[in-house]
């Protein structure tokens, strides 16, 4: 079988998939789309009188006389609705704020206070517009502000931070990436010269950042809100593609439809590749289109691509596991919510901490802000997504065979089957543990991101338990699958469990060390990041390398011993292993700190 | 009877548990986003924290600036004679920002240094902005004879929770309408599945008309949304967020649920396969919810105003309108179904 044959078969299947989709599309969707367009048109036409999408329209009522100067700001503000200027309305709960006779009456409730705040900012907006129309600029805007972001340790360690650099124009917020932590990139603010006016400010405004010579009203906090919203635009269309893709994969499993392809000379890998190709193409097309729309460059596309792979991989695995469309919908929705959270949460902190780079969306935000990332940073933020996406495809293809495709089992059992299908012998206990590292990383980084907002004292203990739990499951689940669903049935003995546990612990340890090498190239030096790294076994002294190895071997053996005794035994063994692991983590960090 | 079977099958797959978990996660996630973000820039959320500002510059500007800063809550100033010691204090973490104010021509030029890459940067910038706005107002007042229009006096500042508006206009509608969306999706899956597996024929062999089948499936899915909505409202009440006009809110949710489920069932019966049905269903509901947000009485805004209690008696009529639309839509679907022969 030559490679050309394989490619030809894959492409043939891809063509079938496209033409089949085209067939189902013309018959009904034309009608459906016409109806949807008509509905959208009606809705938009009737709503066009309003002022755009605003879920907070008219939520507070402000009493203000028609001839009052405050009438205009209230009418212009979306959340405010003008009512009669009768102070009695506040008492009877029919208005939150009333302006009458120069007095402002406010309802004594949370709602009243919120309404007052909205009213205040409406008046502020109004004043700004009023002053904007003034002829005398210096009287209307008597204060010019030049806001600059500077590193505190600038100059202290100048020169050592080379290679981390993304400094653009005058938008010095971009320096926050790693520079400060890698030892004081001085940036372009010039070593703390207070008197030198900043002439470089250009890209401020939209993305938040330096303001140069503007009114204080124009200062926007360095929060990349606009970029975040735009980055989200990449994720939304993916959900639609994934929905169609999941359907077509699951349809193969209904009524033995996929049998025709299975008995053809095409291998499962080729079938899956062929059926996936059109959807991957659609994803890339959408991503490029969104990038063109929101002004992202090639970097944005390159950063979103691994997210697309992960979405498709997760959907494919789900379609292989699910018993019905309903189950597919729910698992797919959970997966997309999880992936969206994973991609989105860290990106919020783009300008605050380098650990935000764990999400590929951070790369997109930086690209939209006009920054750049190094190759190491790109690999750090997209590597786990690539590996997870690929591993999910590998797992799913393993059960793309007759005996699994057309049988109905619950999702967890299918997962065990998929794991078992990849187990060839005892050695697999170690290799699968190595391959679990990207998943572990993803799960741990998500936990890290979610715990980011908590105070450090509270976040660390929770983090330790979460990390221990994730790692222990990763080390033992495939061992359990091999023992009960796969070819390792003979090892259901104490001796066998110890061997398998030892191998899994060793494999995990090796994978972890590989990650450490990657991390050393990427980035370090964020307090919480250091803590995870430390618990992950990154200890500064070479002698202590033995300790994490021993830990992984011992805990993996504990859970393997439990796994030999069936589901309940496995749960007990796993709990014991997690406790042991969390205790170890805590001990290491306390002794280091 | 069929409705009971549908609910039982949902329970068997534990999907409903998963659905509730997803909703909880989405709610927790969006609250986390907002609470997390607000804590980044809202001074009120960081109790007892003051921003220390070093001020340098010419005498009169510094005096005016300090006067304005003292009006602002949570700010402290220290005056320095020269830029260098102020900068040194800033580098030692003793100051959160350094501000230099100088008279240049008829304006004041303010140069502000704030720390880069610090979790508190946003908070410092927001506080500084408030102070500089106050300063600008004072300076503007001094120049009022050169202005053709007087700016309006600002209403008093109130201590309000920044989450208040978010809870009612985003979180609550999310919790109310996510179950509606999921309900419709369940119907699409359930009907297409019966069609694709050919079990619809089996059901029709039983003494059930096609309309009965559609009744059963839609009833089960449409009924779930108001129940879940009531559950979320109960949780919110426990959390200290009271929802006004609860009966009207639930009627609104039930009506929308019926509309969306009808839409889902219709699409699933028309579409050739699940892919098309789900895709057009998602796009359709997106248009329905996204598009109607443009409209004053769109369900999202209406639910927010109902829950806040910011509605007059007219709202009851609007909710009744939704209910009538739901009943009419369903009746049309039922008539169409009993005429059409399903394959």
Taking an 8 Å cut-off on Cβ atoms, the answer to whether A39 and B287 are in contact is yes
Taking an 8 Å cut-off on Cβ atoms, the answer to whether A219 and B128 are in contact is yes
The answer to whether residue A193 sits within a structural domain is no
Distance CA(A84)–CA(A346), nearest Å, equals 47
The answer to whether residue A91 sits within a structural domain is yes
Which residues of chain A are within 8 Å of residue B282 when distances are taken between CB atoms? 239-240, 243
Q: Are residues A449 and A475 in the same domain?
A: yes
Nearest residue in B to A145, CA atom: B110
Query: Among the three residues A368, A402, A422, which one is the final residue of a domain in this structure?
Result: A422
- The domain covering B43-142 belongs, at the CATH homologous superfamily level, to Periplasmic binding protein-like II (3.40.190.10)
Enclosing domain of residue A69: 60-140
The answer to whether residue A97 sits within a structural domain is yes
Contact A457, A538 (CB under 8 A): no
Which residues of chain B are within 8 Å of residue A53 when distances are taken between CB atoms? 290, 293-294
pLDDT band at residue A356 using 50, 70 and 90 as cut-offs: confident
In a mutational test of the A interface, the residue from B102, B111, B236 whose CB has the highest number of chain A CBs within 10 Å is: B111
Distance CA(B194)–CA(B183), nearest Å, equals 17
Interface pTM, i.e. ipTM: 0.83
Percent over 90 (pLDDT), chain A = 6
Report the pLDDT value the prediction gives residue A288, as an integer from 0 to 100.
Answer: 92
Nearest CB among A113, A120, A327 relative to B154 is that of A120
Nearest residue in A to B105, CA atom: A138
Q: Are residues A117 and A170 in the same domain?
A: no
Separation of CA A124 from chain center: 36
**Looking at the DSSP assignment, which residues form a beta bridge with residue B55?**
B79, B99
Determine which of A59-73, A268-282, B47-61 has the lowest per-residue pLDDT on average: B47-61
Nearest CB among B117, B190, B196 relative to A352 is that of B117
Domain boundaries, given as residue ranges, for chain B: 2-36+163-339, 43-142
The answer to whether residue A194 sits within a structural domain is no
Q: Are residues A508 and A534 in the same domain?
A: yes
A142 contacts chain B (CB < 8 A): yes
- Pick the more confident residue, A484 or A118: A118
Domains of chain A: total: 4
Q: Are residues A231 and A349 in the same domain?
A: yes
Distance CA(A225)–CA(A375), nearest Å, equals 25
pTM of this structure: 0.74
pLDDT band at residue A321 using 50, 70 and 90 as cut-offs: confident
Which residue, among A201, A203, A200, A162, has the nearest Cα to A179 in the 3D structure?
A162
Q: Are strands B107-115 and B97-104 parallel, antiparallel or unpaired?
A: antiparallel
Q: Are residues A115 and A259 in the same domain?
A: no
Count Cβ neighbours within 10 Å for each residue of A188-209 and write b for 16 or more, e otherwise: ebeebebeeebebbebbeebbb
pLDDT band at residue A517 using 50, 70 and 90 as cut-offs: low
- DSSP per-residue letters across A190-226: TTT-SSSPP----STGGG----EEE-GGG---S--HH
Distance CA(B30)–CA(A55), nearest Å, equals 16
In a mutational test of the A interface, the residue from B11, B116, B119 whose CB has the highest number of chain A CBs within 10 Å is: B116
Question: Å from A194 to nearest chain B CA?
Answer: 7
Segment A191-243, tens digit of pLDDT? 333 322 232 333 333 333 445 567 777 777 666 666 777 777 888 888 888 88
Q: Are residues A396 and A447 in the same domain?
A: no
Question: Which one-letter DSSP state was computed for residue B341?
Answer: P
Q: Are residues A396 and A466 in the same domain?
A: no
Report the pLDDT value the prediction gives residue A410, as an integer from 0 to 100.
Answer: 78
Taking an 8 Å cut-off on Cβ atoms, the answer to whether A353 and B107 are in contact is no
Question: Å from A170 to nearest chain B CA?
Answer: 13
Determine which of A228-232, A399-403, B22-26 has the lowest per-residue pLDDT on average: B22-26
Taking an 8 Å cut-off on Cβ atoms, the answer to whether A153 and B149 are in contact is no
Q: Are residues A95 and A166 in the same domain?
A: no
Q: Are residues A246 and A316 in the same domain?
A: yes
Query: Among the three residues A393, A422, A451, which one is the final residue of a domain in this structure?
Result: A422
Q: Quick one: angle between helices B121-142 and B15-41, nearest 10? A: 50
Q: Are residues A360 and A380 in the same domain?
A: yes
Segment B106-153, tens digit of pLDDT? 888 888 888 876 667 777 888 888 888 888 888 888 888 888 888 888
- DSSP per-residue letters across A68-109: STTHHHHHHSTTEEEE---THHHHTTS-SEEEETTEEEE-SS
Which residue, among A165, A592, A152, A532, has the nearest Cα to A358 in the 3D structure?
A532
**Which residues lie closer than 8 Å to A539 by C-beta, 6 or more apart?**
A545, A547, A548, A588, A592
Q: Are residues A368 and A396 in the same domain?
A: yes
Determine which of A26-40, A205-219, A342-356, B188-202 has the lowest per-residue pLDDT on average: A205-219
Segment B158-217, tens digit of pLDDT? 776 667 887 888 778 888 888 888 888 888 888 888 877 776 666 666 666 777 777 888
Question: Average pLDDT in the A156-185 region?
Answer: 33
Which residues of chain A are within 8 Å of residue B190 when distances are taken between CB atoms? 325-326
Q: Are residues A237 and A208 in the same domain?
A: no
């Amino acid at each position: 079988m030559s490679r050309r044959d394989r490619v030809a078969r894959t492409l043939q299947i891809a063509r079938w998939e496209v033409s089949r989709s085209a067939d189902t599309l013309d018959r009904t969707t034309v009608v459906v789309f016409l109806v949807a367009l008509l509905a959208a048109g009606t809705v938009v036409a009737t709503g066009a009188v309003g002022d755009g999408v605003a879920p907070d329209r008219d939520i507070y009522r402000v009493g203000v006389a028609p001839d009052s100067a405050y009438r205009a700001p209230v009418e212009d503000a979306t959340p405010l609705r003008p009512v009669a200027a009768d102070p009695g309305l506040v008492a009877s709960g029919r208005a939150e704020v009333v302006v009458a006779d120069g007095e402002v009456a406010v309802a004594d409730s949370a709602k009243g206070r919120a309404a007052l705040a909205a009213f205040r900012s409406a008046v502020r907006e109004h004043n700004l517009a009023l002053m904007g129309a003034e002829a005398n600029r210096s009287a209307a805007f008597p204060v010019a502000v030049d806001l600059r972001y500077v590193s505190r340790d600038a100059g202290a360690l100048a020169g050592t931070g080379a290679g981390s650099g993304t400094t653009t124009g005058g938008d010095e917020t971009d320096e926050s990436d790693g520079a400060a932590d890698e030892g004081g990139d001085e940036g372009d603010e010039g070593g703390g010269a207070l008197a030198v006016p900043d002439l470089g400010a250009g890209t401020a405004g939209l993305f938040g950042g330096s303001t140069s010579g503007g009114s204080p009203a124009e200062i926007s906090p360095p929060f990349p809100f606009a970029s975040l919203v735009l980055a989200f635009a990449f994720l939304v269309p993916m959900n639609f593609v994934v929905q169609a893709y999941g359907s077509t994969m699951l349809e193969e499993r209904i009524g033995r439809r996929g049998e025709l392809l299975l008995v053809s000379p095409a291998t499962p890998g080729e079938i899956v590749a062929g059926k996936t190709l059109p959807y991957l193409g659609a994803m890339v097309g959408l991503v490029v289109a969104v990038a063109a729309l929101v002004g992202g460059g090639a970097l944005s596309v390159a950063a979103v691509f691994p997210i697309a792979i992960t979405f498709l991989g997760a959907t494919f695995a789900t379609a292989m596991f699910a018993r019905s469309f309903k189950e597919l919908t729910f698992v797919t929705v959970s997966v997309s919510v999880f992936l969206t959270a994973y991609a989105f949460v860290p990106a919020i902190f783009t300008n605050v901490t380098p650990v935000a780079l764990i999400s590929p969306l951070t790369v997109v935000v930086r690209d939209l802000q006009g920054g750049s990332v190094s190759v190491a940073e790109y690999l750090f933020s997209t590597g786990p997504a690539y590996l997870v996406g690929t591993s999910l495809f590998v797992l799913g293809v393993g059960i793309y065979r007759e005996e699994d495709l057309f049988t109905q089992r619950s999702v967890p059992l299918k997962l065990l089957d998929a794991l078992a299908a990849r187990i060839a012998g005892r050695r697999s206990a170690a290799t699968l543990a190595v391959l679990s590292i990207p998943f572990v990383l993803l799960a741990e980084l998500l936990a890290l991101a979610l715990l980011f907002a908590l105070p450090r004292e509270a976040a660390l203990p929770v983090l330790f338990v979460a990390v221990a739990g994730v790692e222990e499951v990763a080390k033992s689940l495939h061992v359990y699958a091999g023992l009960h669903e796969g070819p390792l049935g003979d090892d259901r003995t104490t001796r066998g469990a110890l061997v398998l546990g030892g191998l899994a612990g060793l494999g995990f340890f090796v994978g972890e060390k590989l990650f450490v090498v990657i991390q050393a190239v990427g980035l370090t030096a964020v307090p919480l990041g250091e803590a995870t790294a430390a618990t992950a076994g990154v200890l500064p002294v070479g002698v202590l390398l033995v300790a994490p190895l021993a830990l992984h071997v011992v805990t993996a053996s504990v859970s393997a011993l439990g796994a030999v005794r069936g589901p309940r035994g496995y749960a007990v063994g796993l709990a014991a292993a997690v406790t042991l692991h969390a205790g170890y983590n805590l001990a290491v960090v306390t002794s280091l700190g | 009877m069929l409705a009971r079977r549908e609910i039982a099958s949902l329970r068997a797959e534990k999907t409903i548990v998963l659905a509730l978990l997803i909703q909880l996660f989405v709610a927790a996630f969006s609250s986390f986003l907002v609470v997390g973000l607000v804590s980044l820039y809202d001074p009120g959320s960081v109790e007892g924290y003051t921003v220390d500002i070093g001020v340098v510059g010419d005498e009169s500007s510094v005096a005016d600036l300090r006067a304005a800063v003292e009006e602002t809550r949570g700010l402290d100033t220290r005056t320095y004679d020269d830029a260098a010691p102020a900068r040194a204090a800033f580098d030692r973490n003793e100051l959160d920002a350094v501000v230099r104010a100088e008279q240049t021509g008829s304006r004041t030029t303010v140069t502000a240094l704030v720390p880069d890459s610090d979790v508190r940067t946003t908070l410092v910038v927001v506080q500084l902005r408030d102070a500089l706005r106050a300063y600008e107002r004072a300076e503007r007042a001094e120049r009022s004879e050169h202005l053709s229009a007087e700016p309006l006096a600002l209403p008093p500042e109130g201590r309000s929770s920044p989450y208040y508006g978010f809870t009612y206009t985003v979180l609550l509608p999310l919790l109310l309408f996510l179950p509606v969306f999921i309900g419709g999706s369940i119907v699409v899956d359930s009907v297409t599945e019966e069609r694709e597996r050919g079990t619809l024929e089996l059901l029709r062999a039983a003494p059930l008309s096609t309309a009965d089948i559609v009744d059963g499936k839609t009833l089960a899915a449409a009924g779930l949304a108001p129940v879940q909505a009531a559950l979320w409202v109960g949780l919110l009440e426990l959390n200290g967020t009271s929802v006004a006009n609860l009966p009207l809110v639930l009627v609104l949710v039930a009506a929308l649920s019926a509309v969306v489920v009808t839409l889902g069932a219709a699409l699933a019966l028309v579409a050739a396969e699940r892919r098309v049905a789900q895709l057009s269903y998602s796009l359709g509901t997106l248009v329905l919810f996204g598009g109607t947000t443009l409209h004053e009485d769109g369900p999202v805004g209406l639910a927010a105003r109902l829950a806040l209690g910011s509605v007059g008696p007219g709202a009851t009529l609007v909710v009744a309108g939704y209910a009538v639309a739901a009943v009419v839509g369903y009746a049309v679907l039922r008539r169409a179904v009993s005429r059409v022969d399903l394959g």
